[in-house]
Chain A
Amino acid sequence: MTRLELVAVGASWGGLRAIETVLGYLPEDFGAAVVIAQHRQSGGQEGMLEHLLDARCALTVSEAEDKQRLAPGAVLVAPADYHLLVERGAVSLSVDAPLHFSRPSIDVLLGSAADAYGAGTTGVLLTGANADGAVGLAKIAARGGTAIVQNPETAERREMPEAALWATPEARVLELEQIGPALVELAASSAGSLP
Chain B
Amino acid sequence: MALRVSGDAHEARERLEIELLLEAIQRAYGYDFRGYAVASLRRRLWHRVYGEGLETISGLQERILHEPACMDRLLRDLSINVTEMFRDPSFHRALRAHVFPLLRTYPFIRVWNAGCSTGEEIYSVAIALHEEGLLERTRIYATDIDEAALERARSGAFPLERMQFYTENYQRAGGKESFSRYYSTDGNVARFDPALAAGTVFAQHNLVTDGSFNEFQLIVCRNVLIYFGAELQEKVLGLFGASMTRLGVLALGRKESLRHSRHADEYEPIVEAEKIFRRRA
Q: A76-87, CB under 8 A of B: which get 1 and which 0?
A: 000100110111
Query: What B residues does A79 contact at CB under 8 A?
Result: 254-255
Query: Is B66 located at the chain interface by the 8 A CB criterion?
Result: no
Determine whether B8 belongs to the interface, using a CB cutoff of 8 Å to chain A: yes
CB contact under 8 A between A145 and B39, given known A65-B257, A66-B255, A95-B81: no
Which of chain A's residues have a CB closer than 8 A to the CB of B81? 95-96
Proximity bits, B242-274, A CB within 8 Å = 1, else 0: 000000000001111101100000000000000
Report the separation of the CA atoms of residues A94 and B226 in the bound assembly, to the nearest whole angstrom. Answer: 6
Contact A65 B255 (CB under 8 A): yes
Tell which of B37, B81, B227, B253 has the most Cβ of chain A within 10 Å: B37
A64 contacts partner chain B, Cβ-Cβ < 8 Å: yes
Interface residues of B in 1-42 (CB under 8 A from A): 3-4, 6-8, 10-11, 14, 37-40, 42
Q: Is the CB of A66 within 8 A of B256?
A: yes
Q: Name which of A12-20, A26-34, A112-120, A166-174 contacts chain B.
A: A112-120
Q: CB-CB < 8 A to B259: which residues of A? A: 65
On whether the beta carbons of A67 and B7 are closer than 8 Å, the reply is: no
Q: How far is the CA of A65 from the CA of B257 in the complex (A)?
A: 7
Q: Are A108 and B43 in contact (CB under 8 A)?
A: yes
| B184 at the binding interface (Cβ < 8 Å) | no
> Does B82 reach chain A (CB closer than 8 Å)?
yes
Contact residues on A (Cβ < 8 Å of other chain), bracket: 20 to 34
CA distance A92 to B253 in the complex (A): 13
A85 and B39 contact, Cβ closer than 8 Å, known pairs A64-B255, A67-B230: yes
Taking a contact as CB atoms under 8 Å apart, the answer to whether B83 and A95 are in contact is yes
Q: Is A52 an interface residue (CB 8 A)?
A: no
Q: Is B233 interfacial (CB 8 A cutoff)?
A: yes
B226:A95 contact, CB within 8 angstroms: yes
A-B pairs with CB below 8 Å: how many? 89
CB distance from B211 to the nearest CB of A (A): 24
B58 within 8 A of A: no
B257, A67: Cβ atoms closer than 8 Å: yes
Complex contacts, A95 vs chain B, CB 8 Å: 81-83, 223, 226, 253
Q: Given contacts A66-B256, A67-B230, A95-B223, are A119 and B8 in contact (CB under 8 A)? A: yes
B49 proximal to A (CB < 8 A): no
| Nearest-CB residue, chain A, relative to B257 | A65
Q: Cβ of A142: which chain B residues have Cβ within 8 Å of it?
A: 3-4, 7
Cβ of B129 under 8 Å from chain A: no
The yes or no answer to B225 lying at the interface (CB within 8 A) is yes
A93 touches B255 (CB 8 A): yes
Say which residue of B3, B7, B227 sits within 8 Å of A114 (CB atoms).
B7
Complex interface residues of chain B between 122 and 162 (CB less than 8 A to chain A): none
- CB-nearest residue of chain A relative to B8? A118
When the two chains form the complex, which single residue of A64, A69, A112, A118 contacts B39, counting CB atoms closer than 8 Å?
A: A112
A143 at the B interface (CB under 8 A): yes
Whether B227 contacts A118 by the Cβ 8 Å rule is no
Contact of B226 among A92, A114, A118 (CB under 8 A): A92
Give the distance in Å from the alpha carbon of A88 to the alpha carbon of B87 in the complex: 30
Q: Identify which of residues 60-110 in chain A touch chain B, using a CB-to-CB cut-off of 8 Å.
A: 63-69, 79, 82-83, 85-88, 90, 92-97, 108
A69–B259 CA distance with the chains assembled, in angstroms: 12
Instruction: Choose one: B3, B10, B43; the contact of A96 (CB below 8 Å).
Output: B43
Say yes or no: A143 contacts B11, CB within 8 Å: yes
Contact B225 A115 (CB under 8 A): no
Interface residues of A in 117-132 (CB under 8 A from B): 118-119
Give CA–CA (A188, B230) in the complex, Å.
Answer: 32
Closest CB in chain A relative to B171 CB, distance in Å? 13
Report how far A65 CA is from B259 CA in the complex, Å. Answer: 10
Q: Is there contact, CB below 8 Å, between A82 and B255? A: yes
A181 / chain B contacts, CB cutoff of 8 Å: none
Residues of B within 8 A of A24 (CB): none
* Distance of A126 from chain B, by nearest CB (Å): 23
Q: Which 4 residue pairs of A and B lie closest in terms of their CB atoms, listed nearest first?
A: A143-B7, A118-B7, A85-B39, A144-B7
Instruction: Provide 7 A-B residue pairs closer than 8 Å at the C-beta atoms, listed in order of the A residue.
Output: A68-B260, A92-B40, A95-B226, A115-B42, A116-B39, A143-B7, A143-B11
